[in-house]
């Protein structure tokens, strides 16, 4: 193998992406060629320089931005889907008239007439729709307040009035089922010590509020979170420019677990709840396990301290000290993990999504849908005609010219 | 915390479960942000790209059949978005380099010859890798793409080919060329004295 051939393969060789045969050949060449070895070394340095690039943490607002945008898009998508399922104007079918004598002219005339009508009427619709659209959207609010009674809203009002004893009950219940671990020896003292169940709760709430209300409601939601000694981890407000402007708000917050339900209830009544889910993850087992391991390690630490007291030589002392340091690090790590669990279960995750009702327009009337489809169809058609018009006019003019020129000799 | 199965998450997310999607976002946002950042070298732009990627993914997820792995799929979206972004940026700046950029296997020499303006950034960059990327800024985006995927993200050639939707051979030759460009640039620019002191040879036979 020549140096040139090898040079082509060195990068793949470096990445271990060569088939065994080529790999062997390159390896053999490298045994003898200093030059190629030097090149390989340089390539390796390039690779390791790139490999050692640090992984950068994205700015903290990235997550909220993404989720805000996605939530906004989901709302917009719902609107599109609704439009797609709404009735579309039926497809027109007609038979082409026979193109024998006279047919051409009739077709051309009819087409020209259609063209004129279409251009005029679509321009009219476009103009009219523009003028009409503004009052239509602002009227929408009145429609909604009549059409959609606050069904969910009332339900959640009911829940909000429930006594706060609900959580207490949940914890009691957890005490009963704690028995399933009692067979394991480390659990018994923990159980007798009356350890409560560690639950990590994640709640997600999607609200719809009236148009323009996102700003206000989001502020109230943040206020509610804070009033329960919670805090907002990240929040974002995004404005989607679609067929109409729609604002969406997204936040992730942490709320003390015992207040989570109350906070949800209070936020729920700020708008129409379209989605609410709460997921619970039971980490009691992990928690107890960590506790037992910490206890074990602490005992080990005590023993090592004893041993250190009895150590005779410096060598022994150093050995024990090294061991002691290791055990202490482990204890710290375990405690750190336990803290994380403790905090996660003490502070529930709550993400709130607030979108404008208008962006989804929950239930436009039947006629409203037809009107919308009608207007849009004409708008599209107007657009099409505007694009096509110049070519069409030229074509029609050309067609008549050609006809005239062709016919003259035939007639005369 | 139990690691949830990615496939199950994808499945749930494609049925419109926002919390499952959020879990996927959490799993990938940092990785994709880093990829985009290395591609476009601007944090704000990278954030825009990552947001766009997840928006697209969210939209396209119902149609995601699982022919490829989710990670390959979303990396591909991210790479395409980054390349698109670079293309648009290039247009916006009206770079009138005397030759159009060819995206298949274009000539390198033409673009390599002027890395001078990036040398100022080089002084500030802490890591050699970042210096290299500053140089790469002047290079064909596809070269940067393969190096990011191969060296920074640690993907195999086969996976890179899938992500970039190209052939294994193309990946191989792009990596080969990209690394050689950097290698020679390092020597020529004397970015790292230690590189050059290997007997002053700048060009191999």
Question: Exposed, middle or buried, A70 (CB in 10 Å: 0-12/13-18/19+)?
Answer: buried
Segment B87-103 mean pLDDT: 56
Alpha helix stretches (DSSP H) within chain B: 6-14, 18-40, 43-60, 70-92, 109-112, 119-124, 128-136, 141-147, 157-164, 168-189, 193-196
- For A307-328, what is each residue's pLDDT tens digit? 888 877 777 788 888 888 888 9
> Nearest CA to CA, how far is B146 from chain A (Å)?
12
B48 touches chain A (CB under 8 A): no
CA nearest B46: which of B59, B62, B35, B61? B35
B50 vs A52: CB contact, 8 Å cut-off?
no
Q: For residue A287, which residues of chain B lie inside 8 Å, CB to CB?
A: none
Q: For residue B22, which residues of chain A lie inside 8 Å, CB to CB?
A: 67, 351
B54 touches chain A (CB under 8 A): yes
* SS3 sequence of A188-209: HHHHHCCCCCCEEEEEEEEEEE
A17 vs B130: CB contact, 8 Å cut-off?
no
Count of beta carbons in the 10 Å neighbourhood of residue A356:
26
Q: For residue A353, which residues of chain B lie inside 8 Å, CB to CB?
A: 18
pLDDT at residue A395 greater than cutoff 50: yes
- Look at A93 and B11; give whichever has higher pLDDT: B11
Distance of CA B86 to the CA centre of its chain: 11
Segment A92-100 mean pLDDT: 46
Segment A233-257 mean pLDDT: 81
C-alpha A348/C-alpha A346 separation (Å) is: 6
What residue of B is the nearest CA neighbor of A39?
B204
**Closest Cβ opposite residue A74 in set B2, B18, B47:** B18
Alpha helix stretches (DSSP H) within A15-60: 20-32, 34-51
User: What is the model's pLDDT at position B87?
Assistant: 84
B175 vs A55: CB contact, 8 Å cut-off?
no
B33 touches chain A (CB under 8 A): yes
Write down the domain spans for chain A. Answer: 3-51, 61-87+111-281+347-386
Give how far Cα A274 sits from Cα of A261, A359, B13, B19, B83, Å. Answer: 17, 13, 17, 14, 38
Rg of the Cα atoms in chain B: 19
Query: What number of CA atoms fall less than 13 Å from residue A319's CA on the CB side?
Result: 8
State residue B107 phi and psi, 5-degree precision: -70, 145
Give how far Cα B134 sits from Cα of B42, B125, B145, B195, Å. Answer: 11, 9, 14, 18
- CATH classification of B98-205 is 3.30.420.40, yes or no? no
Segment B113-122 mean pLDDT: 42
A73 vs B33: CB contact, 8 Å cut-off?
no
| Mutation target vs B (from A53, A234, A237; most B CBs, 10 A cutoff) | A53
Q: Is B114 helix (H, G, I), strand (E, B) or coil?
A: coil
List of E strands, A132-215: 199-209
C-alpha B140/C-alpha B121 separation (Å) is: 19
Which range, of A320-329, A356-365, B79-88, B108-117, averages the lowest pLDDT? B108-117
Local confidence band at A172 (pLDDT 50, 70, 90 cut-offs):
very low
B152 touches chain A (CB under 8 A): yes
Q: Are B148 and B154 contacting, i.e. CB atoms less than 8 angstroms apart?
A: no
User: What is the model's pLDDT at position A136?
Assistant: 41
> What element of type H or E holds A245?
strand A245-256
Q: Is A231 helix (H, G, I), strand (E, B) or coil?
A: strand
pLDDT at residue A47 greater than cutoff 80: yes
User: What is the model's pLDDT at position A243?
Assistant: 63
- For B5-23, what is each residue's pLDDT tens digit? 788 888 888 888 888 888 8
**Side-by-side strand order, sheet with A231-241:** A231-241, A245-256, A347-356, A199-209, A272-282
User: What is the model's pLDDT at position A366?
Assistant: 78
**A191-196 LR contacts (CB < 8 Å, sep 24+):** A195/A284, A195/A287, A195/A288, A196/A171
Q: What is the CATH number of domain B1-96?
A: 1.10.1740.10
pLDDT at residue B96 greater than cutoff 60: no
Q: What is the distance between the terminal CA atoms of chain B, rounded to a whole angstrom?
A: 56
Residues contacting residue A142 through CB under 8 Å, at least 6 positions apart: none
Write down the domain spans for chain B. Answer: 1-96, 98-205
What residue of B is the nearest CA neighbor of A252?
B22
Instruction: State how beta strands A272-282 and A347-356 pair.
Output: unpaired
Q: For residue B205, which residues of chain A lie inside 8 Å, CB to CB?
A: 3-4, 35
| Mutation target vs A (from B2, B15, B17, B18; most A CBs, 10 A cutoff) | B18
User: What is the model's pLDDT at position A268?
Assistant: 87
Q: Give the ipTM of the model, two decimals please.
A: 0.71
Local confidence band at A183 (pLDDT 50, 70, 90 cut-offs):
very low
What residue of A is the nearest CA neighbor of B132?
A50
B12 touches chain A (CB under 8 A): no
Segment A22-39 mean pLDDT: 88
| Mutation target vs B (from A16, A26, A46; most B CBs, 10 A cutoff) | A46
CA nearest B43: which of A110, A65, A128, A36? A65
Q: For residue A70, which residues of chain B lie inside 8 Å, CB to CB?
A: 18, 21, 25, 54-55, 58
C-alpha A305/C-alpha B166 separation (Å) is: 63
Residues contacting residue A194 through CB under 8 Å, at least 6 positions apart: A175
Rg of the Cα atoms in chain A: 37
Average pLDDT of the residues of chain A: 74
- Tokens describing residue A171: 């914890």
C-alpha A296/C-alpha A277 separation (Å) is: 39
Local confidence band at A70 (pLDDT 50, 70, 90 cut-offs):
confident
Residues contacting residue B170 through CB under 8 Å, at least 6 positions apart: B105, B161, B164
Segment A98-115 mean pLDDT: 67
User: What is the model's pLDDT at position A309?
Assistant: 81
A204 vs B19: CB contact, 8 Å cut-off?
yes
Q: What is the maximum span of chain B, computed from C-alpha positions, in angstroms?
A: 62
A74 vs B16: CB contact, 8 Å cut-off?
yes
A-facing residues of B in 70-99 (CB < 8 A) are none
| Mutation target vs B (from A50, A204, A252, A276; most B CBs, 10 A cutoff) | A50
- Look at A17 and A139; give whichever has higher pLDDT: A17
B8 touches chain A (CB under 8 A): no
Q: For residue B182, which residues of chain A lie inside 8 Å, CB to CB?
A: 46
What residue of A is the nearest CA neighbor of B37?
A56
B160 touches chain A (CB under 8 A): no
Q: Are A210 and A354 contacting, i.e. CB atoms less than 8 angstroms apart?
A: no
B176 vs A63: CB contact, 8 Å cut-off?
no
Segment B79-96 mean pLDDT: 75
B119 touches chain A (CB under 8 A): no
């Amino acid at each position: 193998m020549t140096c040139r051939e090898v040079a082509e393969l060195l990068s793949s060789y470096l990445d271990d992406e060569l088939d065994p045969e080529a790999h062997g050949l390159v390896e053999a060449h490298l045994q003898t060629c200093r030059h190629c070895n030097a090149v390989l070394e340089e390539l390796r340095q390039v690779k390791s320089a790139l490999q050692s690039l640090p992984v950068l943490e994205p700015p903290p607002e990235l997550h909220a931005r993404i989720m805000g945008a996605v939530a906004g898009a989901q709302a917009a998508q719902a609107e599109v889907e609704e439009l797609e399922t709404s009735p579309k104007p039926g497809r027109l079918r007609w038979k082409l008239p026979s193109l024998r004598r006279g047919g051409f002219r009739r077709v051309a005339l009819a087409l020209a007439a259609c063209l004129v009508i279409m251009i005029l009427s679509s321009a009219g619709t476009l103009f009219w729709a523009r003028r009409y659209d503004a009052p239509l959207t602002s009227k929408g609010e009145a429609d909604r307040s009549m059409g959609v009674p606050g069904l969910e809203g009332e339900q959640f009002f009911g829940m909000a009035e429930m006594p706060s004893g609900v959580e207490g009950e949940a914890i009691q219940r957890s005490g009963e089922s704690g028995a399933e671990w009692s067979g394991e020896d480390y659990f018994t003292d923990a159980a007798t010590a009356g350890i409560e169940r560690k639950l990590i709760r994640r709640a997600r709430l999607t609200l719809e509020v009236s148009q323009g209300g996102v700003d206000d409601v989001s502020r109230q939601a943040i206020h509610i979170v804070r009033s329960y000694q919670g805090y907002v981890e990240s929040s974002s407000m995004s404005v989607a420019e679609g067929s109409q402007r729609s604002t969406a708000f997204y936040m992730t917050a942490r709320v003390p677990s015992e207040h989570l339900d109350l906070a949800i209830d209070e936020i729920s009544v700020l708008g129409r709840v379209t989605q609410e889910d709460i997921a619970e993850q039971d980490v009691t087992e992990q928690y107890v396990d960590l506790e037992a391991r910490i206890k074990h390690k602490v005992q080990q630490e005590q023993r090592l301290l004893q041993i250190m007291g009895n150590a005779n030589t410096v060598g022994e002392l150093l050995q024990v000290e090294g061991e002691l340091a290791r055990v202490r690090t482990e204890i710290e790590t375990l405690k750190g993990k336990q803290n994380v669990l403790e905090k996660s279960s003490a502070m529930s995750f709550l993400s709130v999504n607030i979108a404008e009702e208008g962006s989804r327009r929950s239930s436009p009337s039947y006629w409203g849908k037809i009107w919308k489809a009608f207007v849009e169809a004409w708008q599209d058609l107007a657009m099409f005609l505007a694009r096509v018009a110049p070519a069409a006019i030229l074509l029609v003019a050309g067609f008549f010219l050609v006809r005239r020129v062709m016919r003259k000799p035939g007639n005369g | 915390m139990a690691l949830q199965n990615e496939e199950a998450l994808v499945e749930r997310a494609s049925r419109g479960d926002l919390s499952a999607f959020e879990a996927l976002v959490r799993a990938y946002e940092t990785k994709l942000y880093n990829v985009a950042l290395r591609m476009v070298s601007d944090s704000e732009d990278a954030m825009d790209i990552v947001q766009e990627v997840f928006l697209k993914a969210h939209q396209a997820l119902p149609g995601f059949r699982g022919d490829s792995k989710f990670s390959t799929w979303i990396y591909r979206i991210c790479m395409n978005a980054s390349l698109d972004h670079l293309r648009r940026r290039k247009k916006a700046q009206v770079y009138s380099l005397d030759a159009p950029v060819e995206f298949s296997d274009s000539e390198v020499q033409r673009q390599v010859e002027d890395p001078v303006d990036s040398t100022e950034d080089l002084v500030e960059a802490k890591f050699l890798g970042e210096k290299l990327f500053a140089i790469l800024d002047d290079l064909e985006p596809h070269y940067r793409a393969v190096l990011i995927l191969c060296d920074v993200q640690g993907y195999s050639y086969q996976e890179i080919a899938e992500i970039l939707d190209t052939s294994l051979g193309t990946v191989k030759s792009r990596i080969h060329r990209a690394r050689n460009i950097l290698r020679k640039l390092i020597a020529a620019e004397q970015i790292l004295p230690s590189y050059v002191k290997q007997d002053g040879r700048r060009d191999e036979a």
